[in-house]
Amino acid sequence: MTGDDRSVSRRAILAATGSAVALSTAGSAHDDESSDETESDWSERLRRCPEATIQPSMTHCRGASMDGCSDDHPATQKLQDEVRAALERRYPDIGAIIQQGYKPYFDTVFDGDDDDASGGWSHWLNPEYIGDDETLTPDRPESILVDNEWWRPIGAMFIATRDGEPIERPPAVYGEGEGEGVSEDEDEDETETTDERCSPWHSHTGLPGRFAWWYYRQTYEGAYRDGELLLPCRTPCLLHVWTVPHPDGVYAHGGPPRANRGGPPAEDPGFDTDARPGEDELGWDVLPEDVVPETKPDEWRARLGLVS
């Protein structure tokens, strides 16, 4: 997208969204005393997004279960090994990640700030892989998770979409039971399951995660052109696979402790920059100009009144 196109996009989104975004910021969490909205305004919010919250929150996807998930299971070890191999072979540094078409997303609300023991990491999303018909493909993860201190990938995040649209019931990593092949009319209670079934898909219902997905779709997919202006009630289903040790397991929702991410820093970041991995934090200010969107997430939140 050229500079002129990006300017037009920003103006178009601002003109088109306005109250539409504000109307969808929250669902069940609000302060009646501080709100000047009418009862009907809040009723509309509650009807549309009853699970939505202002603070970060998540929910299990339909048919998801972590009861059978184990880091020692052969299927988990195979998936983690394949993700690790793909990151080392295809996405070893930021330059390679950029060349493969990934777009950065830095957000201290969503990923944790520099003082957070589990923060300091970023999501890099690939529009091509989000828009294809593959799911849980280690060579083509929809998102790569990068440590901002060492500038190295520390895992992958799979996004359950087909042709860009969310899959309601993503496939399990292993075990019998629900998946994308199950009929929508089938009773969940009658679906065959086993104690070994592992399907650790989750969806974000809190404002930070919902805004992150809205920002990605508006900035890189131009969703506003199709009239898709409201914040979603939830993100698509997501699944993390961490390739560094994590006390909560391979599929943990939150980031691993900084001490577990290891080093040394990337010797060559893979693109021309004066910043040094391990000394300078990876962020918007150190990236090539053509990778940085004209309006960053924090600026959008301020423009749309989504900051306190």
pTM for the model: 0.83
Tokens matching residue 154: 């520390």
Q: For the segment 217-230, what is each residue's pLDDT rounded down to a tens digit? A: 999 999 888 888 88
Give me the amino acid identity at 81: D
C-alpha R_g of the chain: 20
Q: For the segment 111-120, what is each residue's pLDDT rounded down to a tens digit? A: 554 555 557 9
> What is the pLDDT at residue 300?
87
Asked whether the predicted pLDDT for residue 195 surpasses 90, the reply is no
In sign, the C-alpha dihedral spanning 172, 177, 178, 180 is positive
Give me the amino acid identity at 71: D
Cα 217 from chain centre = 11
> What is the pLDDT at residue 224?
86
Tokens matching residue 41: 């305004």
In contact, 213 and 236? CB cutoff 8 Å: yes
In sign, the C-alpha dihedral spanning 114, 119, 121, 127 is negative
Tokens matching residue 196: 């070994």
Q: For the segment 72-106, what is each residue's pLDDT rounded down to a tens digit? A: 999 999 999 999 999 999 999 999 999 999 999 99
The mean per-residue pLDDT over the stretch 121-129 comes to 97
